[in-house]
Amino acid sequence: MEQQITRKAYIEELAKIQEKVVEMGIAAETACKNAIEALLNFDKNLAAEVMKNDDIIDDLLIDIEDSCILLIAKQQPIAHDLRVITTAFKISTDLERIGDHAFDIAKITCNSKKAFDFDETSIKKLSDCAVNMINMSTTAYKNADVNMAEKVCIEDDTADSLFAKTLTQIAAFNENKGISELSFISRYLERIGDHATNIAEWVIYLETAERIRKTNRLSD
């Protein structure tokens, strides 16, 4: 029997949702990179740009959510299609949170009267790690790459230990000048790593239907 491909518009709409998630991933990664660059160079203009561009990420979230809700209401998605929609919901929420943390870091730079005087080695390493995790998790999403998603989950341990080291270093070097701001920034970066890990876990679910339990992460 000849098998005819059906539901063209629906399939295109699913693909569009995935494209928007990828677009949001790129925006969130750029926001983090720029927020850190603004911090390290004490570039208030760049920090202000990060804050302004957060609206783009927020709008993409609403757009993705609306598209998902419409498809659920009208198309009764099941199996892999349903996972495309549920993971778009979850991943876009994580990306929006990443955007918020980039916004928070940029805001600290904007509100600061002068550049922070600190040894940037640790925070640089932590931010590289976090940005890399966003990049890997969204690339894994784009390419349906479960192996890469699994690597992100393992990388989360690196982010956690870099966070601990950064806090120690900030405490040792800063003698109360900007210590709370820098601690917050480190915490935001660590949380960004957590959100990237969530995204990676949703990629694994999308492609395999397997749920990764928080208590049973790949690195354990």
List interacting residues with another protein (CB under 8 A).
Answer: 1, 3-7, 10-11, 76-82, 209
Q: How far is Cα 85 from Cα 79, in angstroms, rounded to an integer? A: 10
Residue closer to another protein (CB basis): 73 or 172 = 73
Residue closer to another protein (CB basis): 1 or 172 = 1
Q: How far is the CB of 86 from another protein (least distance, A)?
A: 10
Contact 132, 190 (CB under 8 A): no
Contact 17, 68 (CB under 8 A): yes
Token pair listed for 219: 């690195």
Q: Tell me which residue of 22, 50, 18 sits closest to 34, measured CA to CA.
A: 50
Residue closer to another protein (CB basis): 3 or 147 = 3
Residue closer to another protein (CB basis): 79 or 172 = 79
Q: How far is the CB of 58 from another protein (least distance, A)?
A: 31
Length of the chain in residues, anyone? 220
Q: How far is the CB of 93 from another protein (least distance, A)?
A: 21
Residue closer to another protein (CB basis): 48 or 77 = 77
Q: How far is the CB of 191 from another protein (least distance, A)?
A: 31
Q: How far is the CB of 135 from another protein (least distance, A)?
A: 29
Burial (CB < 10 A; 0-12, 13-18, 19+), residue 12, is exposed
Q: How far is the CB of 9 from another protein (least distance, A)?
A: 11
The three-point CA angle 63-58-68 to 5° equals 25
Token pair listed for 173: 């070097």
Token pair listed for 119: 């040894």
Residue closer to another protein (CB basis): 56 or 77 = 77
Q: Tell me which residue of 210, 196, 94 sits closest to 151, measured CA to CA.
A: 196
